[in-house]
Chains A and B, each alone.
Chain A
């Protein structure tokens, strides 16, 4: 039991990203409204960001900005003192990609609304079926 609790606590970030991911996937698949789906999509993406940031965390480390700036440049930098910067970099990119996707998705939603006057998937399907 203790072991389980320990695992649960030691890795709660990972549990959290999995649950966020599931929330996002659920929203994309099960929600009927396209804006909701898009929100779900964003939640999915941020869940992955959470995962990456969790990777980069290091106990007892600080933010990855080298402290002793000018003058001490040749002093060896102890990597253990700093967080892992690479996932941060990757996630900057991922956030930007997410906002780009969001922009396109919302643009499509606006187009969709102009055409169907609704954002509910089932209503749109009905309209298509009626048109045929």
Chain B
């Protein structure tokens, strides 16, 4: 485990999180959320939790994002904040 890498990814995670909730487009938010999940997946892998990383990759970055996008398509991309 390389702590510098770890720290860098953690920072990215935080940035993605903030971005996902601030961006003024829900589709963008969904995609950023996917990126966030992917970063987390990397983080888990670095921290040695391979099973969790695997699950996060398939569930978080994959299916969740697809769900988000599907829902946003079915509703609206508009958001005020």
- Interface contact A106-B71, CB-CB below 8 Å: yes
- Majority SS of interface residues in chain A? helix
Contacts A32-B79, A43-B17, A113-B76 supplied; 13 other A-B pairs, CB < 8 Å: A19-B14, A35-B26, A35-B68, A39-B20, A49-B52, A56-B49, A57-B1, A57-B48, A63-B49, A96-B59, A99-B59, A102-B64, A119-B79
- Interface contact A27-B50, CB-CB below 8 Å: no
**Distance (Å) between the CB of A3 and the closest chain B CB?**
19
**Distance (Å) between the CB of B31 and the closest chain A CB?**
11
29 intermolecular pairs with C-beta atoms under 8 Å apart: A16-B10, A23-B17, A26-B21, A33-B79, A39-B20, A40-B21, A43-B21, A49-B52, A50-B40, A53-B49, A53-B52, A54-B47, A57-B1, A59-B1, A83-B48, A92-B52, A92-B55, A95-B56, A99-B59, A99-B64, A106-B67, A106-B68, A109-B75, A110-B75, A118-B76, A118-B78, A119-B75, A119-B76, A120-B79
With contacts A53-B49, A110-B75 known, is A39 near B59, CB below 8 A? no
- Interface contact A31-B81, CB-CB below 8 Å: yes
A-B contact count (CB 8 A): 132
Interface size class of A (residues with CB under 8 A): 35 or more
Contacts of A77 in B (CB 8 A): none
Contacts of A99 in B (CB 8 A): 59-60, 63-64, 67
Q: For A64, A89, A99, which residue has the most chain B Cβ atoms within 10 angstroms?
A: A99
- Majority SS of interface residues in chain B? helix
For chain B, the count of residues having a C-beta within 8 Å of the partner chain is: 43
Q: For B7, B20, B70, which residue has the most chain A Cβ atoms within 10 angstroms?
A: B20
- Interface contact A33-B81, CB-CB below 8 Å: yes
**Distance (Å) between the CB of B66 and the closest chain A CB?**
11
CA distance A13 to B78 in the complex (A): 34
CA distance A49 to B37 in the complex (A): 12
